[in-house]
Amino acid sequence: MRLSYTKALNRALTDALAQDPAVCVFGEDIGAGLAGPTLNLLDRFGPGRIVDTPLSEQAFTSMAIGAALSGRRPVIEFQIPSLLFLVFEQLVNQAHKFSLMTGGQASVPLTCLVPGSGSRDGWAGQHSDHPYSLFAHAGLKTVVPATPTDAYGLLRSAIADPDPVVVFAPAAALPVRETVTWELAPIPLGSARIHREGTDVTVVAIGHLVHDALAVAEELGPEISVEVFDPRTLHPFDWTALAASLDRTGRLVVIDDSNRSCGIGAEVLATAAEQMRLVAPPRRITRPDGTVLPFAPGLDRALQPQRDQLRDAVRAVLK
C-alpha cells in the first residue's frame, strides 16, 4: 500500500472515530475536508461527531475542553499553525492546567491536529510558524511525526491519551509517501525512532527535517557514519534513547525548524551537555531568533534550516 502523510492522518481519524464513540472532531472547513485529514469523515460519521465550526477558535477550543471534561475525546483540526497563538490561553491556561488544578478530578483528553505547520511557500508572516517548542515548553504533550506511518501511529496514541496533546504535521512532510506492507498501529508517545544507525555523530532531526537529515547522511555516508535520531514527540522526550545514541557516537547536531532562543534544539543541547556523553561541542541549526518568515521565496528559505548547514555542522563536530 502506498500511503501519503495526509491520508495517514485521515485513516487515523477514521479508525479512532470508528473504534471509540467518544471521539469527535471540531474545526473549520472540516466538513468539506479542506485540509485533507478530515476528508469524507462528515459523510461517514455525521454532524453529531464531525462538527464544522464557525470562525471562533477560542470558543470552540474551550468548547472542546468542556466536551472533554464531559467524557468526550475531541480532536480539533487547526487550518493554520498561527491559530495556536490565538488559543494559547485555552490550551495552556485551561486544558493543560485542569488536571493539576482540580487535584486530579478532571483530565482533558483533547487532541489538536495542525496539518501544514511551518512554511508553505508563499504563505508569508502569519501562516508559516512552526510553534511546537512553545507547547513543549508549556508542558503540553507535543508530537511532530516525520513519516506517514508515524503520523498514523502517533495521532492514534494522541487521541487515546488522557491528557491534551498537540500534533504538528509539518507542511513539508505532507507530500511524503511511504510503501506500507505492515499493519498500521498506535505508536507510544515519548518513544524516539532511529531512522539510520551510525557511529560518528547523532543528528537529532525534527519533523520534515528527518528527511533532510537522511539525505545528508546518505551523501556523507562514505566519509562519516551519521545516526539519524527522530524524537517523534518533543514532550515527553525520549531522553533515554538519546543518551544511548550519544553513548555510541559522542557527537551531536540538532536540526530544528523552530526559533533558536528557547527552541527545542536548545533544550536538546543543554540536556546532552548536562547529562550525556559528548566528546565534542554540539551544534544546532534552527530558524534565527524571533523569526517572522518573509514572503519572497528566497527570503523564506533563507531563514529555514538547510541541508548544507547540516552538512557543515556535521563536519564541524567531527573536527
Partner 1 sequence: MLRLIRGFEELALTLVKSGEITGGIHPYIGQEAVAVGVCAALRPQDVITSTHRGHGHVLAKGAAPDRLLAELLGRTTGLNKGRGGSMHAADFSLGILGANGMVGAGGPIAVGAAWSARQAGEDRVAVAFFGDGALNQGVLLESLNLAAMWRLPVLFVCENNGYATTLPAVTAVAGSATGRAAGFGIPAAEVDGMDTEAVRAAAAEAVERARTGGGPGFLECRTYRFEGHHTMERLMKLRYRTPEEIADWRDLDPLPRAAALLPPGLAAQVDASVAEQLAAARQFAITSEHPDPAGALDLLYADGLRPRAGSTA
Shortest separation between residue 199's beta carbon and partner 1, angstroms: 27
Between 22 and 280, CB nearer to partner 1: 22
Report the relative pairing of strands 233-235 and 141-143 from DSSP bridges: antiparallel
Cα–Cα distance for residue pair 47/222, rounded to 1 Å: 56
Residue 247 burial by Cβ neighbours in a 10 Å radius (0-12, 13-18, 19+): exposed
Longest dimension (CA), the chain: 60
Shortest separation between residue 144's beta carbon and partner 1, angstroms: 18
Give bridge partners of residue 179 from the DSSP assignment: 2
Between 23 and 217, CB nearer to partner 1: 23
Cα–Cα distance for residue pair 252/244, rounded to 1 Å: 12
Between 5 and 132, CB nearer to partner 1: 132
Report the relative pairing of strands 141-143 and 165-170 from DSSP bridges: parallel
- Looking at residue 17, its amino acid is L
Shortest separation between residue 190's beta carbon and partner 1, angstroms: 8
Shortest separation between residue 240's beta carbon and partner 1, angstroms: 12
The DSSP code sequence of 119-133 is --TT--TTS---THH
Shortest separation between residue 288's beta carbon and partner 1, angstroms: 27
Catalytic residue from among 127, 130, 195, 211? 127
Between 74 and 81, CB nearer to partner 1: 74
Cα–Cα distance for residue pair 266/269, rounded to 1 Å: 5
Between 52 and 197, CB nearer to partner 1: 52
Shortest separation between residue 27's beta carbon and partner 1, angstroms: 13
Between 124 and 243, CB nearer to partner 1: 243
Which of 289, 210, 315, 301 lies closest to 255 in space, CA to CA? 210
Is there a catalytic annotation at residue 127? yes
The H-assigned helical ranges of the chain are: 5-19, 41-45, 57-69, 83-86, 88, 98-101, 132-138, 148-160, 209-220, 239-249, 264-275, 297-302, 307-318
Cα–Cα distance for residue pair 91/81, rounded to 1 Å: 14
Find the radius of gyration of the CA atoms of the chain.
19
Buried-state track 133-144, b at ≥16 Cβ within 10 A, e below 16: bbbbbbebbbbb
Q: Which residues bind partner 1 (CB under 8 A)?
A: 24, 48-49, 53-54, 56, 58-72, 89-90, 93-94, 98-109, 139, 141, 161-163, 190, 236, 239, 274-275
Residue positions annotated with a catalytic role: 127
